[in-house]
Amino acid sequence: MTPTPFPLPAFDDNYIWLLPAHGGRGAVVVDPGDAAPVLAAADAGGWRPQAVLLTHHHGDHIGGVAALRARWPDLHVVAPDDRRIPVASQRVGDGDRVEAAGHAFDVLAVPGHTVSHIAFHGHGLLFCGDTLFSLGCGRLFEGTPAQMLASLDRLAALPGDTLVCCGHEYTQSNAAFARAVDPDNPALARRSEEVTTLRNDSLPTLPVTLGDERACNPFLRVDAPAVRAAVAAWSGDGDLSRVGAFAALRRWKDGFRA
Question: Confidence class of residue 22 from pLDDT cuts 50, 70 and 90?
Answer: confident
Cβ distance 222 to 182 under 8 Å?
no
Three-state DSSP state, 104: strand
Q: Which of 15-29, 86-100, 206-220 shows the lowest per-residue confidence on average (mean pLDDT)?
A: 15-29
The residue among 220, 146, 204 whose CA lies nearest residue 172 is: 204
- Model's pTM, two decimal places? 0.97
| 168 a catalytic residue | yes
| 113 a catalytic residue | yes
Pairing between strand 163-166 and 26-30? unpaired
| 123 a catalytic residue | no
Report the alpha-carbon angle 124-129-130, nearest 5.
Answer: 130
- Dihedral sign from CA coordinates of 184, 188, 194, 197: negative
Which of the following is catalytic: 58, 76, 103, 123?
Answer: 58
Q: What is the pLDDT of residues 34-48, one digit of tens each?
A: 999 999 999 998 899
Which of the following is catalytic: 82, 168, 182, 212?
Answer: 168
Mean pLDDT confidence for 181-192: 98
Three-state DSSP state, 105: strand
**79 pLDDT exceeds 70?**
yes
Measured distance CA(139)–CA(86) in Å, rounded: 24
Which of the following is catalytic: 31, 34, 56, 121?
Answer: 56
Q: What is residue 1's predicted lDDT score, i.e. its pLDDT? A: 67
Mean pLDDT confidence for 7-16: 98
Q: What is the pLDDT of residues 114-139, one digit of tens each?
A: 999 999 999 999 999 999 999 999 99
- Give every CB contact of residue 193 below 8 A, 6+ residues apart in sequence: none
Q: What is residue 3's predicted lDDT score, i.e. its pLDDT? A: 83
| 58 a catalytic residue | yes
Report the alpha-carbon angle 27-204-219, nearest 5.
Answer: 100
Which of the following is catalytic: 31, 34, 60, 82?
Answer: 60
pLDDT above 70 coverage of the chain, percent: 100
